[in-house]
Copies of this chain bind each other. A is one copy, B any other.
Amino acid sequence: MKFGGTSVGDEKCIGRVVSILEHYYKSGNEIAVVVSAMSGVTDQLHAIAEEVEKSSDEPPVDSFVQSIRTKHKKVLDAVAKDESEEVMKEIDKRLENLKNILTAVHNLRELTPRSRDYIISFGERLSAQIVSAALRQAGINSIPMNGCEAGILTNARHGCAHVLPESEPRIKSRVVPQMQDGIPVVMGYMGCTEQGIVTTLGRSGSDYSAAIIGAGIDADEIWIWTDVDGIMTSNPRIIEDARVIADISYLEAMELSYFGAEVLHPRSIEPAMQKGIPVRVKNTFNPSAGGSCVRATEHKDSRVVKGITYIEKVSLINITGAQMVGRPGVAKAIFTALAESDVNVMMISQGSSEANISVIVVDEHLERSIDALSNVKHGGYVREVTYDRDVVAVAVVGVGMAGTPGISGRIFTALGKAGVNLMMISQGSSEVNISFVVKEEEGPKALRVLHDEFELSEEEN
């Protein structure tokens, strides 16, 4: 079970977490918990790390550490008053280390990848202490474990470390014993290298930790507790009657991952998928709601389309030139230029004429994409590079689409009837996803039309 940042956001939240865990634990389940930092803390740590490196004056290290202390102490006092003092000692030891490293970074004006990772891992170091104490307060045996103690071994790519396969047996041998008569609380987001250097796992790292731990201990299920009811059929901000998808396959969940505040990062699904462990997404604030269950065999379901994602703030770039035909190096030149400018390419389409490559990038990468591509243009292969900022990308997702002729016809006929003009279409051979791009002002209409076409607001049966 993994609890995200908002789930451990204050004393009430932790109370909820404890009662949820109590409920499942007392029903006879063996449980390991992975926790995020309290909401906001990781961002604050990032910010202070940057600040102490940059500022030439004495930075507010003391007051920062004090505010972090106050925040955590308040929650701790509320959820585990018996042990409060003792746990506070542990926390103070950690805060001393935090103060030390922040001071050193300031004195050197040097924030290495290693020191950054060390600093931002403190959020989980503290929250896990509190959750663990709260469990003990509730009469459940519990110790906090950091990522390293829990056996998560990574490479040394700080800030975005890759978990090594050797982790699996380690996790099993370290976490499972702790589950015999209690609930170990593992700090999410962090691991360590063979040399014991702390690393962090990047975006959505705590979910990833949960998946890794779940796979490592051969869990029956992995539960991700978050602040929404589950994975939804579409963006509820646009489609008010969007619904939670109760049953969804791994692939579908991955494809939908972009939508709805990234409920679940695809990276967090992979370890589970490899072992066939179902991943349940539940709402801490509404634990009785069913949530979504992500699993291998898709539930018997008449639905071919499961959900429709809607990606805003993207731009379409179009690269043209007859000289491109038959030149093996053109795609290389284009994607090398984009990669070297650190542009993440979201959609690519090149039709059979080869004379035209269209890509979708997020708006904030547009400018440097155009810069990068104008160099390719000067290289001579490409005649023209144009772009359009006001577009949205829509992806229709469903495992059932593969092998069901006519789905694309339904999609594009529906869009055509609604008078929606398609700027770009892409369907890869997984056939689980048909993506297209439309003008921003036509986006909501396109989404609505398709949500209706596939009756996604109706109850599943």
CB neighbors of B among A300-343 (8 A): 309, 311, 316, 318, 320, 322-323, 325-329, 331-336, 338-340, 342-343
Report yes or no: A266 in contact with B355, Cβ–Cβ below 8 A: yes
Task: Select A258's contact among B327, B353, B414, beta carbons within 8 Å.
Answer: B353
Which residues does chain B contribute within 8 Å of A255, judged by CB atoms? 351, 353, 355
**CB-nearest residue of chain B to A408:** B412
State the Cβ distance, A235 to closest chain B Cβ, in Å. 13
State the Cβ distance, A30 to closest chain B Cβ, in Å. 28
| Contact bitstring A368-406, B, C-beta under 8 A = 1, else 0 | 000000000000100100001000011101000001111
Tell me, yes or no, whether A112 is within 8 Å of chain B by CB.
yes
Tell me, yes or no, whether A430 is within 8 Å of chain B by CB.
yes
Q: How far is the CA of A108 from the CA of B117 in the complex (A)?
A: 10
Task: Select A344's contact among B112, B328, B338, B413, beta carbons within 8 Å.
Answer: B328
Tell me, yes or no, whether A416 is within 8 Å of chain B by CB.
yes
| Contact bitstring A426-437, B, C-beta under 8 A = 1, else 0 | 111111011111
CB neighbors of B among A64-108 (8 A): 97, 100-101, 103-105, 107-108
Task: Select A350's contact among B414, B426, B431, beta carbons within 8 Å.
Answer: B426
Interface of A is mostly: mixed
Of the stretches A138-146, A171-179, A417-425, the one at the interface is A417-425
State the Cβ distance, A169 to closest chain B Cβ, in Å. 20
Which residues does chain B contribute within 8 Å of A353, judged by CB atoms? 254-258, 266, 395, 397, 433, 435
**CB-nearest residue of chain B to A332:** B339
Which residues does chain B contribute within 8 Å of A254, judged by CB atoms? 322, 353, 355
Chain A interface residue count, CB cutoff 8 Å, equals 110
**CB-nearest residue of chain B to A361:** B328
Which residues does chain B contribute within 8 Å of A195, judged by CB atoms? 109
Which residues does chain B contribute within 8 Å of A112, judged by CB atoms? 108, 110, 112
Q: How far is the CA of A195 from the CA of B53 in the complex (A)?
A: 12
Which residues does chain B contribute within 8 Å of A257, judged by CB atoms? 325, 353
Which residues does chain B contribute within 8 Å of A107, judged by CB atoms? 97, 100-101, 118
Report yes or no: A350 in contact with B345, Cβ–Cβ below 8 A: yes
Report yes or no: A267 in contact with B322, Cβ–Cβ below 8 A: yes
**CB-nearest residue of chain B to A391:** B429
Q: How far is the CA of A331 from the CA of B411 in the complex (A)?
A: 28
Q: How far is the CA of A162 from the CA of B316 in the complex (A)?
A: 30
| Contact bitstring A206-237, B, C-beta under 8 A = 1, else 0 | 00000000000000000000000000000000
Tell me, yes or no, whether A196 is within 8 Å of chain B by CB.
yes
Task: Select A331's contact among B105, B328, B345, B424, beta carbons within 8 Å.
Answer: B345
Report yes or no: A429 in contact with B318, Cβ–Cβ below 8 A: yes
Which residues does chain B contribute within 8 Å of A350, judged by CB atoms? 345-349, 426, 428
Which residues does chain B contribute within 8 Å of A270, judged by CB atoms? 322-323, 383
Task: Select A162's contact among B328, B333, B344, B380, beta carbons within 8 Å.
Answer: B380
Tell me, yes or no, whether A249 is within 8 Å of chain B by CB.
no
Contact (A414, B424) CB under 8 Å given A255-B355, A309-B352, A352-B395: no
Q: Which 4 A/B pairs are nearest by Cβ-Cβ distance?
A: A406-B416, A409-B416, A104-B104, A409-B413
Q: Offer 28 A-B interface pairs, CB within 8 angstroms, sorted by A.
A: A110-B112, A256-B353, A257-B353, A267-B325, A270-B323, A316-B429, A326-B344, A331-B338, A336-B336, A348-B349, A349-B350, A349-B426, A352-B435, A353-B433, A353-B435, A356-B430, A356-B433, A405-B419, A407-B416, A408-B416, A408-B425, A409-B409, A410-B412, A413-B413, A422-B427, A424-B427, A425-B426, A425-B427
